[in-house]
């Protein structure tokens, strides 16, 4: 079924204990789209870049089945740019540079051909922009999944809550769930957040896996214990892409299918962190993914 | 099969955001024995208490199938006493009082009737004392499981490593695994720790579950997402008790059985934290435990 992805397409520059990159392709919608492309095609993309964004990177997205009709290219502005440095534990990072550029005035224009979308993934963006996308769709998608972050809880909480009331699934990390709900217990946090709108809540816990709450049930997905996390940038978005890509492929929205989608997302995220940026995501084979899923299943084989 | 448990039997006083207790029965060997008693009996206990320890609490242990022949009662000293205060997140705590008392000079004397033990659980104690127990057993048990903590890594690392070389399974938390190995990646940490002696390593991650490493495999056990953690005291020991109790019951030592034992331990620990101290552990039914295990299985039902 058709999948619409909205979010940033951008440049990242990354410093880790293992090395550093110049500007490379990044952005929530980039990771989401590449990850989802292993499950469903085409992927309709709504995003904005500047005159400095390389045609080769746009071609890369197209090669992965991304429909770029909704990708705006601003002739007089530069692309969104983020530079960050990871600490030794790879679990925390400092933002060194944030240049909003084109993202500062992003107006998410939906091509007419996108109006029939069944699955909508709202990557991390200002909640007002996410809400505008929902309002501009003439037919409500079967499922709307939203990602967000603590920055919007600090700076745009009311708008965030308005958008939250319109979506089916929210994907955030454990600290964000605690901040949004004011509850330390994730079970209590989930109940409060579900009362704000989303029927389903995914709480991402990085190396500790992920929890899915919905239909009065809880699913616990492990993370694959890794030798090394090379670069965590984009892991959460890659997770979201695998999650919604699988749901769009299956075209089913129930707790078991969603749990399986969480596993697909976890498997995709475990690839993402093995190399800088999108490097590991751009040429995976079906065999690679199946083998990784097998590793996840082995992790819980005693059940 | 017969199980020998060595560790502290003590008094705890606990302050949490939910309330506080006067001196109540605590200690690693207490939690381990009570938890293991739901899987195997009798449990041979080696520990020391002072003149102030209530006969009623010794009777409680006996009622749960604990053989107290190896419980020394010192007529002129007081029992070990620990007082702690948990912070609001229940994940960190301050030690307010530690009175070693009888534990300062604990000599673990093994009654002759304990010499045939098949499974040995070394609860958290000075590593020299743990080693003495192993040396005093004329026949090596089928399986030796050892618990320890960062305190001994800080103050008795050489002795800790000597004991570690003699055991089959080490049970520690993630921070301790990182401290002991000097590695942040738990996969790398496990490899280094296994090279120090134990064939199997359990890394406890509290609300994030537990990992079992061994035979070149990894098992990931979730923790049950709880509404409320009332008192975490003894949760790790309760986990260890369920783990070794199940292994002694099954009398099998292989990766799948050990993985199942990790699930049993996790289920027992999830009871422990629901009330102060041992309160929730002393009258569980087989139905309670089976129902809790069912909740754990539901957590991963999509696999």
Query: A131: domain range?
Result: 3-299
Q: Mean pLDDT across the stretch B284-292?
A: 96
Among candidate residues A180, A189, A242, the one with its CA nearest the CA of residue A218: A189
Sign of the dihedral through C-alpha B242, B246, B248, B252 = negative
Which stretches of chain A drop beneath a pLDDT of 50? none
A259 contacts in B (CB within 8 Å)? 301-302
For residue B173, count other CB atoms closer than 10 A to its CB: 17
Residue A234 falls in which region: left (phi positive, over 0), alpha (psi -120 to 50) or beta: left
What is the nearest CA distance from A260 to chain B, expressed in angstroms? Answer: 6
Given CB atoms, is A247 within the 8 Å cutoff of chain B?
no
Query: Mind listing the pLDDT tens digit for each residue in B153-191?
Result: 999 999 999 999 999 999 999 999 999 999 999 999 999
Among candidate residues B12, B30, B29, the one with its CA nearest the CA of residue B21: B12
Rounded to 5 degrees, φ, ψ at B81 are -135, 130
Output the six-digit token pair for A217: 């049930």
- Report the mean per-residue pLDDT for chain A: 95
Q: Is the pLDDT of residue B118 over 90?
A: yes
Of B207, B263, B299, the CB nearest to A218: B299
Question: What one-character DSSP code corresponds to residue A204?
Answer: E
Sign of the dihedral through C-alpha B87, B91, B96, B102 = positive
Q: How confident is the model at residue B217 (pLDDT cuts 50, 70, 90)?
A: very high
What is the nearest CA distance from A134 to chain B, expressed in angstroms? Answer: 30
Q: Between chains, do A209 and B209 touch, taking CB under 8 Å as contact?
A: yes
B302 contacts in A (CB within 8 Å)? 219, 256, 259-260, 262-263
Q: How confident is the model at residue B59 (pLDDT cuts 50, 70, 90)?
A: very high
B89 contacts in A (CB within 8 Å)? 184
- What is the widest separation between alpha-carbon atoms in chain A? 58
Given CB atoms, is B92 within the 8 Å cutoff of chain A?
no
A205 contacts in B (CB within 8 Å)? 208
CB interface of B with A, residues 268-297, below 8 Å = 297
Total domains in the fold of chain A: 1
Query: Mind listing the pLDDT tens digit for each residue in A174-219?
Result: 999 999 999 999 999 999 999 999 999 999 999 899 999 999 999 9
Are B121 and B44 in contact by the 8 Å Cβ rule? The answer is no
Q: Between chains, do A208 and B211 touch, taking CB under 8 Å as contact?
A: no
Query: pTM above the 0.90 mark?
Result: yes
Q: Using CA coordinates, name the residue in chain A closest to B210.
A: A208
B300 contacts in A (CB within 8 Å)? 219-220, 300, 303
Are A6 and A120 in contact by the 8 Å Cβ rule? The answer is yes
What is the domain-level CATH number for residue A92?
3.40.1190.20
Given CB atoms, is A209 within the 8 Å cutoff of chain B?
yes
Given CB atoms, is B88 within the 8 Å cutoff of chain A?
yes
Expressed in percent and rounded to 5, the helix, strand and coil fractions of chain A are: 40, 25, 35
Among candidate residues B207, B205, B260, B271, the one with its CA nearest the CA of residue B238: B271
Given CB atoms, is B209 within the 8 Å cutoff of chain A?
yes
Provide the ipTM: 0.87
Q: How confident is the model at residue B91 (pLDDT cuts 50, 70, 90)?
A: confident
State the pLDDT at residue A92: 82
State the pLDDT at residue B219: 95
Strands (E), B19-92: 19-20, 24-26, 43-50, 66-74, 81-86
**CA within 13 Å, CB half, A125:** 32
In the structure, how many helices (H) and strands (E) does chain A have? Answer: 10, 15
Sign of the dihedral through C-alpha A272, A276, A277, A282 = negative
Q: Between chains, do B219 and A263 touch, taking CB under 8 Å as contact?
A: no
Q: How confident is the model at residue B18 (pLDDT cuts 50, 70, 90)?
A: confident
Q: Between chains, do B220 and A188 touch, taking CB under 8 Å as contact?
A: no
Please state, in angstroms and rounded to a whole number, the distance separating the CA atoms of residues B25 and B23. 7
Question: What one-character DSSP code corresponds to residue A102?
Answer: G
């Amino acid at each position: 079924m058709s999948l619409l992805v909205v979010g940033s397409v951008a440049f990242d520059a990354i410093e880790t204990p293992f090395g550093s990159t110049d500007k490379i392709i990044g952005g929530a919608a980039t990771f989401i789209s590449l990850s989802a492309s292993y499950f469903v095609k085409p992927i309709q993309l709504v995003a904005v870049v500047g005159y400095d964004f390389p045609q080769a990177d746009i071609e890369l997205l197209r090669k992965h089945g991304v429909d770029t009709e909704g990708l705006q290219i601003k002739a007089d502005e530069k692309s969104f740019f983020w530079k960050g440095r990871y600490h030794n534990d790879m679990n925390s990072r400092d933002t060194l540079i944030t240049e909003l550029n084109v993202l500062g005035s992003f107006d998410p224009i939906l091509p007419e051909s996108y109006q029939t979308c069944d699955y909508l993934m709202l990557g991390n963006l200002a909640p007002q922009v996410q809400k505008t996308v929902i309002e501009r769709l003439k037919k409500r998608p079967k499922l709307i999944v939203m990602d967000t972050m603590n920055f919007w809880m600090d700076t745009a909480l009311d708008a965030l809550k308005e958008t939250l009331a319109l979506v089916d699934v929210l994907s955030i990390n454990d600290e964000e769930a605690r901040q949004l709900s004011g509850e330390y217990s994730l079970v209590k946090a989930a109940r409060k957040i579900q009362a704000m709108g989303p029927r389903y809540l995914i709480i991402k816990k990085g190396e500790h896996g992920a929890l899915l709450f919905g239909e009065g049930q809880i699913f616990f997905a492990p993370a694959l214990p890794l030798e090394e996390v090379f670069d965590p940038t984009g892991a959460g978005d890659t997770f979201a892409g695998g999650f919604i890509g699988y749901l769009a492929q299956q075209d089913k929205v129930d707790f078991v299918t969603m749990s399986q989608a969480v596993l697909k997302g976890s498997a995709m995220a475990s690839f993402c962190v093995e190399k800088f940026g999108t490097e590991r995501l751009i040429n995976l084979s079906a065999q690679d993914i199946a083998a990784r899923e097998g590793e996840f299943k082995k992790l819980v084989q005693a059940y």
